[in-house]
Amino acid sequence: MDSNEAELSFLSPSLSPTSRWWSEDTVAIVTGANKGIGFALVKRMAELGVTVILTARDIERGCKAVEALRAQGLYNVAFSCLDVSDPSSIRAFASWFRKSYAALDILVNNAAVSFNDLNENSVEHAETVMKTNFYGPKLLTEALLPMFRSSSSISRILNVSSRLGSLNQLRNPSIKQVMKSERLSEEEIEGVVNLFLNDVKSGAWKSKGWPKLWTDYAVSKLALNAYTRVLAKRYEGRGLSVNSFCPGFTQTSMTHCKGDHTADDAAGIAARLALLPSHQISSGKFFFWGSSNAISSKL
């Protein structure tokens, strides 16, 4: 464990009845939610009484996902089409949300892609990976920021990320120094992403100290984790908590159903983090769920 990582004092955050701050008027958005962790998270939050908007880029799959949940008696779920890799789709979704709901309480940026098998490391689709995994959550968050509710319960953003995007995966000391800076800016994060994409185009990416495993995916999550820190600092003390969460090696389509635990297991932890009572919630942290089932945090 790195020196700036600390074990939290619980195995999993509690959602006891006395800690419940939400109601049916509490609105959450979960992206990429027609399957996997996203679908399981929508289900869990709906079971807990939150009004949840399930988004997916495929209308048919998204509608079927909502139908499956309603067949289980979960009628507090709605669907809206959203492709986070498409800025015009983000704008249309934000406009629809503004007209349909009074305010937003929780945003879970879950949608992500990887084009590699577990033991592969191609960067052929690096640009698409960046558009979906980094720029998508960033653009969606920026579009929805004016719609977050101002209340004592604190609004929340949870970015589903990965330990592959940890700073210790970077082997280029100059880039690592930039990303570690307490004064890191969004422009600098985008500069690092553009540098990586340029290295991919030139064919020099293998020798430039980028993460070794799932390189394009890892860089996209590195950028997302950095953006989490920057946004958390920008909204410090202003009623908005922003954190990242790594669900660990989870059995999903991305891992070809291999993993240490199920999507339901991971979603249960994500729901608990998203619904922590105001006096327990933090901001600007990276939570990860390891094989010990403990949750740790990293500033």
CB atoms within 10 A of CB 49: 14
Cα–Cα dist 34/221, whole Å: 21
Closest to 131 (Cα-Cα) out of 190, 85, 162, 198: 85
Cα–Cα dist 262/249, whole Å: 9
Residue 120 DSSP label: -
Q: What share of the chain is helix, strand, coil (3-state, %, to 5)?
A: 45, 15, 40
Closest to 156 (Cα-Cα) out of 44, 280, 35: 280
Cα–Cα dist 290/105, whole Å: 28
* Residues acting as catalytic residues: 217
| Single-letter amino acid code for the residue at 285 | K
Q: Which 3 state secondary structure label does DSSP give 237?
A: coil
Closest to 137 (Cα-Cα) out of 157, 158, 109, 165: 109
Residue 252 burial by CB count (10 A; 0-12/13-18/19+): exposed, middle or buried?
A: buried
Closest to 193 (Cα-Cα) out of 174, 219, 171, 211: 219
